[in-house]
Amino acid sequence: MRRRLEPYLWLLFSGGGVVAALVLPVLVLLFGVLMPLGVVDWPAAGHLSALTGSVLVRLALLVVAVLCLFHAAHRVRFTSEELLGIARYDVLVAVVCYGGAVVGGIAAGFILF
C-alpha cells in the first residue's frame, strides 16, 4: 500500500493557518503599527539580541516561519490551479510551491541559527 503525501501537506496547511491567524496579527500590530506610531517604544537592540539568544525563541520563530510558508504554498497551489486552470500541471505547481516553502524554511533556519 502506497502512502500519499497529501494528508501531511494539509496538516502543515492547517497548522500554518492557525499560526498565521494567532501570531502574525500580533507581530504586525506591534512592529507595523504601534511601534512606528510611537504608542509602544521600540525594543533596544540589546534586548532583542538577548531575546533571540535563546534557542527556544529561535526555534519558535522558525516554526512560525515554516508553517506560514507551507500555508501560503498550499493556498497558492490550489488557488492558482483553480483560477488559472492549470490543474493539468499539478505536479509541477506542487513542486514549485512546496519547494519554495522548503527553500524559505531552510533560509529561515540559516538566518536564525
Question: Which grid coordinates are listed for 105?
Answer: 524554511
pLDDT in tens, the chain (113 residues): 778 888 888 899 999 999 999 998 998 999 999 999 999 999 999 998 998 999 999 999 999 999 999 999 999 999 998 899 898 999 999 999 999 999 999 999 999 99
Give the whole-angstrom CA distance, residue 20 versus residue 77.
Answer: 17
pLDDT of residue 54: 93
In the chain the domains, ranked by start, together with CATH numbers, are: 6-112 (1.20.1300.10)
The pLDDT tens digits of the residues spanning 1-30 come to 778 888 888 899 999 999 999 998 998 999
| SS3 label, residue 64 | helix
pLDDT of residue 21: 92
